[in-house]
Structure 1
Amino acid sequence: MTRPPDPSSASRRTRVFFALWPAPAIARRLHREGERAHATTGGRRMRRDTLHLTLAFIGDMPRERLEDLLACADKVDFAPFALVVDRIAAWRHNHIVWAGASVQPPELESLVSQLNAALADAGFPVERRKFSAHVTLLRNARGELPASDIDPPIEWSVRTFALIESDLAQDGAHYTVLKFWPAAGTTGH
């Protein structure tokens, strides 16, 4: 599923973002949480193969800038960490049901901070709002969903982050991992 950027496509545009990409077992657990929430709220469930935690959304950009993005990510030095996904809730303003961590590990905050600094230095847009680690499970949710615990919590061992390309289609977005970056002292995904 990982593929290198295509240098012959320099004149085209691409839509990309950096993310934590879950291992299959974690994606299955997140998908089951979305299924449970869907019974209460309705909406459109995210496909299991698209579940992720966005670190930095770049959006639409010229494909020839992919090398610049790769260079930004190469500057990030992060330690592996455990992310405990233990909460499920909804944002009413945008009808999103999400799963997240009640405590964000300092390693995650450092990863996001380093990535945003490198992106800003290279002239890429950077989110100014406080980072809120979450995985979108449902879109267009209609019912109420009070915040609750995920029991047992999902223990996500984070050892990589990735650059993802997003292709929008009628049935939703389709993602391709362009590259993984391993945490310090690890061998990767």
Structure 2
Amino acid sequence: MTRPAETASGAPPRARVFFALWPTAAIARRLHKEGERVHTATGGRRMRRDTLHLTLAFIGDIPRERLDDLRAAADKVAFPPFTLQLDRIAGWRHNHIVWVGATEVPAELESLVSQLNAALAAGGFPVERRKFAAHVTLLRNARGELAASELDPSIVWPVGEFVLVESDLRPEGAQYTVVATWPCVGGARD
């Protein structure tokens, strides 16, 4: 049996990962523009356009050898294409985050998250127990209050895939790399 490469500390290499919906360039630009717009009122640290996403399941730090187990869990998920309408912008005072989200979460998205969590749990991964909150974080460390309001016009996001992302934490901010993609039913696999 071959052992995986070890880090300088002698521990197996690890990966910090999560599953997400990843926006197209056009949707990321619009999300980024909304972050820019509210930044003047709330302050805080804007998320870079290339890091904007909607988290489906945060896995966290795992041994790199378990990445294949994550892929196998995600392979069990089947979902039709759907449209996500991001129509609300608000702030969470408790964690100083400004976000955009959906007033009504599509049933297809709820099903996708439910299937993914069930497959992850069956694979021995921890899953979030709180109710899923479909949102995209625009700002962190926001200082001002931002009351919930309608996003006009709303952001219409056609969803046809979900991804597994690796997060590399650096002093200048997290760097994200999409490591695998799962298309909707009838879509082509990367």
Q: Residues of 1 paired with 2:106 and 2:69: CA distance?
A: 28
- Return 5+ residue gaps in structure 2 as ranges: 7-11
Please name the residue that 2:98 is paired with.
97
How many residues get paired? 183
CA positional deviation for 1:8: 6.3
Please name the residue that 2:53 is paired with.
52
Please name the residue that 1:154 is paired with.
155
Q: For the pair shown, which has the larger CA radius of gyration, 1 or 2?
A: 2
Q: Residues of 2 paired with 1:181 and 1:9: CA distance?
A: 28
Q: Residues of 1 paired with 2:180 and 2:189: CA distance?
A: 11
Note if 1:69 corresponds to 2:70.
Answer: yes
Q: Residues of 2 paired with 1:187 and 1:74: CA distance?
A: 13
- Cα RMSD (Å) of the superposition? 1.4
Please name the residue that 1:139 is paired with.
140
Please name the residue that 1:83 is paired with.
84
Q: How does 1:1-189 map to 2 (within 5 A)?
A: 9=5, 11-187=12-188
Task: Name the aligned partner's letter for residue 88 of structure 1.
Answer: I
Task: Name the aligned partner's letter for residue 99 of structure 1.
Answer: V
CA positional deviation for 1:41: 0.2
Q: Residues of 2 paired with 1:98 and 1:141: CA distance?
A: 11
Task: Name the aligned partner's letter for residue 175 of structure 1.
Answer: Y
Q: Deviations over 1:84-138 (max 9, x none)?
A: 0011000000000000000000000000000000000011000000000000000
Q: Residues of 2 paired with 1:102 and 1:9: CA distance?
A: 46
CA positional deviation for 1:14: 0.6
Q: Residues of 2 paired with 1:170 and 1:148: CA distance?
A: 33
**What is the TM-score when the length of structure 1 is the normalising length?**
0.94
Please name the residue that 2:9 is paired with.
none
Q: Residues of 1 paired with 2:29 and 2:82: CA distance?
A: 20
Percent identity, aligned pairs only, is: 70
Counterpart of 2:121 in 1: which secondary structure? Answer: helix
Q: Rate the CA distance shift 1:24–1:188 in 2: closer, same or farther, 3 A.
A: farther
CA positional deviation for 1:187: 2.6
**What is the TM-score when the length of structure 2 is the normalising length?**
0.93
Q: Residues of 1 paired with 2:146 and 2:92: CA distance?
A: 9
Task: Name the aligned partner's letter for residue 27 of structure 2.
Answer: I
Q: Deviations over 1:27-74 (max 9, x none)?
A: 000000000110100000000000000000000010000000000000
The answer to which of 9-18 and 76-85 deviates more is 9-18
CA positional deviation for 1:185: 1.3
CA positional deviation for 1:188: 5.6
Q: Residues of 1 paired with 2:88 and 2:133: CA distance?
A: 13
- Return 5+ residue gaps in structure 1 as ranges: 1-6
Contact 1:84–1:154, Cα closer than 8 Å, also in 2: yes
Please name the residue that 1:4 is paired with.
none
CA positional deviation for 1:171: 1.2
